[in-house]
Amino acid sequence: MSIYQPHAPAFNKLLGIEVDEWQAGHVRLSVEVKPEHSNSHGIPHGGFICSLLDVACSLPGIYCASPDRIRRALTLSLNTSFVGQAQTNQLYTVGKITSAGYKIFHSSAEVYDSNNTLLATGQAVMKYRKGCEDPHGMHIDEWRQLVGEH
């Protein structure tokens, strides 16, 4: 079951990322690997895996319980280690906050296939977007004005 995200980035939708669990400090994502996500060896492309890690490192820090409010963050650093090879086309990613301050948070994530084979790990340093530092986030209308959405 996917959790409704009223303000999910289009990139996440393009990749087919589903949010299965999401709360402050934790996220669990799932995705079906499609041919367009694969490299020339027929396994998930490293860039696809890095994108999953990036999203899973970001979401635990930007959870906002209010549907009319939003939080966003930018990736300052993402370190990735590839440790296994997918045996299935169903992947899941678990991300968590490892430490957090007012403007910066550190997080980690792991990508697994449906056989629970660890494929990759990632550690990130993220920075809250201006106005998104507060755990209550900013009103969606303020966000749209800030980024020029109509």
In degrees, rounded to 5, the angle at the alpha carbon of residue 31 between the alpha carbons of residues 104 and 58 is: 5
Q: What percentage of the chain reaches a pLDDT higher than 70?
A: 94
What integer is the mean pLDDT of 7-25? 89
Q: Is the pTM of this model over 0.85?
A: yes
Any idea where the domains of the chain sit in the sequence?
Answer: 10-147
Asked if residues 29 and 92 have their Cβ atoms less than 8 Å apart, the reply is: yes
Question: With 70 as the cut, is the pLDDT of residue 59 above it?
Answer: yes
The per-residue pLDDT for 150 is 57
The residue among 64 and 115 whose pLDDT is bigger is 115
The per-residue pLDDT for 1 is 43
Residue type, 85: Q
Under CATH, to which class is 10-147 assigned? alpha beta
Q: Supply φ then ψ for residue 30, to 5 degrees.
A: -140, 155
Instruction: Dump pLDDT digits (tens) for 80-135.
Output: 999 999 999 999 999 999 999 999 999 999 999 999 999 999 999 999 998 889 88
In degrees, rounded to 5, the angle at the alpha carbon of residue 67 between the alpha carbons of residues 72 and 48 is: 45
The neighbour count for residue 58, using CB atoms within 10 Å, is 24
DSSP the chain: -PPP-TT--HHHHHHT-EEEEEETTEEEEEEE--GGGB-TTSSB-HHHHHHHHHHHHHHHHH--S-TTEE--EEEEEEEEEE----SSSEEEEEEEEEEE-SSEEEEEEEEEETT--EEEEEEEEEEEPTT--STT-EEHHHHHHHHT--
